[in-house]
Amino acid sequence: MRTRYDQALVFAAALAAGAAVSSPVLSADVINAGPPPLLYETPPAAQDLFAGWWIGGTLGGATGNFDFSQSSTAIESSGVLGGITGGYNWQNGPIVIGLEGDVLGAGISGSGRFNNGANVANPDIDAMANLRLRAGVTVVPQVMLFVTGGGAWADVDLPVSGPGGGSGNGSFFGWSVGGGAEVAFSPNWSARFDYQFTDFDSDTVSYPGGDVKYDPDVNTYRGSLIYRF
């Protein structure tokens, strides 16, 4: 008759045999399990944050010079401008190409004397507009550096006080170039900062005392808040 000691030995031997039989299967299961699925997931592509239609408000300052035929000294001017800006962008990876325009109200004025101080010219740009191409590159997905260039227009009040003077007005056309940066802080909103130099063609205004030819150029510095559709 088996003692309890003998029964314990038999039970231990049975456990050892079972472990020996099952361990290759467990080892094979572990080997064939493979890495976690997350290791095989492809990260999402970077979003084209600047693509599509956009519109915004813009506000800034300006300086300028008015060359005019009655004096060898240009009239220096300064002031503010603001209005609506908008356009459309195509984006392919880091490259952004767009068409954009501005419609701006302005108050960019100056004053200059001529005819030995008898007359005073007071040019005042009260409206500007332009249409430009833009080319940009994203240095990181949320930040774009860009350059722009295109055509421009301005409406200018040109009063002259003194003998032979009077009220006057001119429409000036020219070209504009500039650049800046735009920072996207959400998929729909961004802030933009840019500089533009605009060189206008000359225009001649007739007064009772004779004709005066003006030739302005303007530097603008603006910040804009942009919404993308």
The per-residue pLDDT for range 208-226, each reduced to its tens digit, is 999 999 999 999 999 999 9
Q: In b/e form, how buried is each residue of 105-119, taking b as 16+ CB within 10 angstroms?
A: ebebbbebbbeeeeb
The per-residue pLDDT for range 169-209, each reduced to its tens digit, is 999 999 999 999 999 999 999 999 999 999 999 999 999 99
The structure tokens listed for 155 are: 């409406």
pTM for the complete prediction? 0.77
The topology (CATH level 3) of 52-228 is: Porin (2.40.160)
The per-residue pLDDT for range 81-119, each reduced to its tens digit, is 999 999 999 999 999 999 999 999 999 999 999 988 899
